[in-house]
Amino acid sequence: MVTTQHDEDVPRLAEIARTLTDFRAEFRSVTQDMVRKEVYSAHMTSVQLQIQTLDKETRRVSEDMDREIQRISAEIHNDRSDRRSIRNIALSAVLSSILAIIVIGVEIILK
């Protein structure tokens, strides 16, 4: 009868087979999650196009906002000018009325 001693530090063939089976299963799992280079490249191209589109849209909205701010600013300036003009007209009317009253008063006194 032949007896062989097994060194405890050396893995048995069955343990090596189990380890290889586990490794194979893990490797298959990882490779299933991988994406092909062509697919990744196409996806990145799509993302870049989306970024460019969003960048253009952001610039357009910003320009629209700037134009709207300028328009509102011009309207406010025009409103201020209109108010000044109305105030000046009203002041002129009041001063003209006072002057007319004074002239009429002087004519009455001089007669």
Listed by start position, the domains of the chain span 13-110
- Complete DSSP assignment for 34-79: ---HHHHHHHHHHHHHHHHHHHHHHHHHHHHHHHHHHHHHHHHHHH
Residue 32, H or E segment:
helix 13-33
Q: Is the pLDDT of residue 34 over 70?
A: yes
Q: What is the pLDDT of residues 75-95, one digit of tens each?
A: 888 777 788 888 888 888 888
* Collapsed DSSP state (helix, strand, coil) of residue 1: coil
Question: What pLDDT band is residue 46 in, cutting at 50, 70 and 90?
Answer: very high
Q: What is the pLDDT of residues 3-28, one digit of tens each?
A: 566 667 777 888 888 999 999 999 88
Q: CA dist 84 to 46, 70, 71, 77, 94, Å?
A: 57, 21, 20, 11, 15
